[in-house]
Amino acid sequence: MVPELRTERLLMRGFRDEDLGEWAVICADRDAMRWLGQPDGLTREEAWRKLAYHVGHWQLRGYGDWALVEQATGRLVGRAGLSCPEGWPAVEVGWLVEQPSWGRGFAPEAARAAVDWARDELGLTHLISLILDENERSARVAEKLGMRVEGRARIVDGRYDVRVFGMDLVPTATIGGSR
């Protein structure tokens, strides 16, 4: 069961089979997908497999990516959440927003909700984001979250050399200054 989260403008929920049409459009966008190592985008079948990956990650790890639904329109605009597939250096907070919604602040809004959930519900104390050097948009999102470059990593069987952004999570009980 994927918990639902609400931000100011987004409903964050589990992926559903009926999301495939909108999800496939997002995944077919070469400009968006190149930052995820898919410079040709994904076919509809590949998008379905990626959707199934997101559903399965929740089952295997107890956390994962949420589908991002814009509350004002009911449209699927992307995904954001937590992942740690085999071979990953640590739990990652990540995001993907459809190109027509770039610049609207959905990525940091959703990522912040995922970070808070990771801290409050999972008790995580550190998160990373793995970002290609050329992906300045995602680097800015990471920086808005309070992340800083911690080093580099090679991922996906060593095919991608990425910057590792990271942040320590302050337990909720200490946020107000009471420690």
Q: pLDDT per residue over 42-81, tens digit each?
A: 999 999 999 999 999 999 999 999 999 999 999 999 999 9
For residue 62, which amino acid is it? G
Predicted confidence (pLDDT) per residue in 145-171, tens digit:
999 999 999 998 888 899 999 999 987
The single-letter DSSP state of residue 25 is H
Copy the structure tokens of residue 173: 């009980």
Average confidence score pLDDT of the chain? 94
The residue extents of the domains of the chain are 5-175
Q: 99-112 pLDDT, tens per residue? A: 999 999 999 999 99
**Could you say which DSSP state residue 113 is in?**
H
- Domain 5-175 class in CATH: alpha beta
